[in-house]
Amino acid sequence: MTGEDKPRVAFFDFTGCEGDQLQVINLEDRLLDLVEVVEVVSFREAMTEHSDEYEIAFVEGGVATAHDERRLTDIRDNADVVVALGSCAAFGGINALRNHQDFETVKERVYGEDADSITSYPIARPIEDVIEVEYEIPGCPIDREEFLGAVTALVNGAEPSIPNYPVCLECKFAENTCAFERGETCLGPITRGGCSATCVSAGTHCWGCRGMVDHPNEDAYTDVLEANGLTTEEVIEEYQLYWGWQRDQVAVADGDSQPVADGGER
């Protein structure tokens, strides 16, 4: 494939740890396979060159400031396809931990005497709350193979295939002992699979880093929790590491008001 035939790709980082872009860099020798099919024109973690001419934009990190919103709008104007890269960009992720805490306290805890200089919004949001997003690659961090598969699909004009089944299915394939049977709680029944149940296979439990699976079987999950003397509310309260924003969306669907960036309500 010649340079003129290759789609131009750009990577952008917003509020986040940039671990998803590091996963791309960690492809190492397989990066050569990547550049065979795309032309990377902007990638701050890996190159100094930059171009605003690109067809596909991979965006990592969430929305935390007005500046973020303006940058995202510019990226959306330039790109034919926008892909949310990682949990923070896709559904708020770790950043959304602040959403259910007093923001002044959060700023003081993190920034100390510099807290008053922070202009961040009190509510962290995924990028789709600001711009239209065609696809998401979830994970904290993303899975490198899943990323390569998504790029291959996009280059061939296909839709990236992101699993839409719960982690429990992968636990069964791996013949794992259920976390509940080990006396632990777990978000596997309602978390999107695609991670090969890595955490449970390692002897811990699912933290929900890939976000909630579409249309989860909440009744079945509730039955599992009740059998273990727990309620859905208790588990979600314990596991709000990644799901601060998604919890708000469920509340809105139930008729509650939703917090917005200025601390008011929609």
pLDDT digits (tens, 9 = 90+) for 71-92: 999 999 999 999 999 999 999 9
The rounded distance, in Å, linking the Cα atoms of 220 and 42 is: 45
Residue-level pLDDT at 3: 55
Angle at 149 between CA 62 and CA 207, to 5 degrees: 45
> How many CB atoms lie under 10 A from the CB of residue 200?
24
Most confident of 27-36, 63-72, 93-102: 63-72
Q: Phi/psi of residue 245, each to 5°?
A: -75, -45
Which phi and psi angles does 96 have, rounded to 5°?
A: -75, 0
264 — pLDDT class (breaks 50, 70, 90): very low
Q: Which CATH architecture has domain 8-155?
A: 3-Layer(aba) Sandwich (3.40)
pLDDT in tens, 226-239: 888 877 777 777 77
Mean pLDDT score across all residues of the chain = 88
Give me the residues paired with residue 185 across strands: none
pTM above 0.85, yes or no: yes
pLDDT beyond 80 at 154: yes
pLDDT greater than 60 at residue 70? yes
Domain boundary assignment for the chain: 8-155, 167-253
With CA atoms as reference, report the closest residue to 124 among 242, 3, 239, 250.
242
User: What is the C-alpha separation between 261 and 99, in angstroms, rounded?
Assistant: 10
Is residue 216 very low, low, confident or very high in pLDDT (cuts 50, 70, 90)? confident
